[in-house]
Structure formats: structure tokens, C-alpha cells
């Protein structure tokens, strides 16, 4: 997975832990290269409990690696199942007719 910001490819570290950082951005797991980590406009999702950006995203959940808080990712189905615009106005008009309000 390349750096989400600049597209750089991760190279294997010579030894020890990778300097690349994992984070969650708009509820997708992303990798940030060492160069981009120095920037302050990374726009990563932050934990609602402790404010840490050390999050991991998996199976519809976002887990904080700092404090362990887990929250549900905003499910995309919610957006898809929302009533189409204009429906509530139609229902309102139908109610008006039934109740004789017009």
C-alpha cells in the first residue's frame, strides 16, 4: 500500500520497526510515509475519546490503539437507505389531504 498522500511506495526497513505510520482517514486504513508524517495537515481521523490518530480500521469498526476505544465506522448503507429527497414532502401532502388540512 503506497502513502495515501504522496503515493510513495513503502520500502522494507533495514532493521527494526517500519518508520511508516498507519492511520485511518475517512474511515479507510491508510499508510503515511516518513516524509508526510512531518506535515500537520494529514487530515487523519482521530479517536473521539483521547484524540489520538493511532487508529486501525477493520470490519466496519475503528479501534484506537492508544486507549482501546472502539466505535462503529459510519456504515455506508445508511446513506443508501435514506429516503430520496421529496418523499417527505409527498407524505406531508398526502397527510394534508387525509386530514383535510388543504
Binding site for Zn ion (CB under 5 A): 3, 5-6, 8, 33, 36, 47, 49-50, 52, 64, 66-67, 69
CA distance 74 to 62: 10
Kindly state the smallest distance separating residue 67's Cβ from Zn ion, in Å: 3
Kindly state the smallest distance separating residue 30's Cβ from Zn ion, in Å: 10
| Beta carbons within 8 Å of 6's beta carbon, 6+ residues apart | 33, 35, 36
Q: Choose among 72, 27, 60, 20: nearest CA to 46.
A: 27
Contact 27, 57 (CB under 8 A): yes
Kindly state the smallest distance separating residue 10's Cβ from Zn ion, in Å: 10
Nearer to Zn ion, 34 or 60 (CB): 34
Nearer to Zn ion, 40 or 101 (CB): 40
Amino acid at each position: 500500500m503506497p502513502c495515501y498522500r504522496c503515493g510513495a511506495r513503502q520500502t522494507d526497513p533495514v532493521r527494526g520497526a517500519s518508520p511508516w505510520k498507519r492511520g485511518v482517514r475517512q474511515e479507510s486504513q491508510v499508510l503515511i510515509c516518513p516524509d508526510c508524517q512531518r506535515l500537520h495537515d494529514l487530515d487523519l481521523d482521530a479517536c473521539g475519546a483521547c484524540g489520538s490518530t493511532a487508529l486501525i480500521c477493520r470490519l466496519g469498526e475503528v479501534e484506537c490503539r492508544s486507549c482501546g476505544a472502539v466505535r462503529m465506522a459510519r456504515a455506508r448503507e445508511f446513506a443508501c437507505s435514506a429516503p430520496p429527497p421529496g418523499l417527505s414532502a409527498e407524505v406531508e401532502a398526502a397527510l394534508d389531504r387525509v386530514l383535510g388540512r388543504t
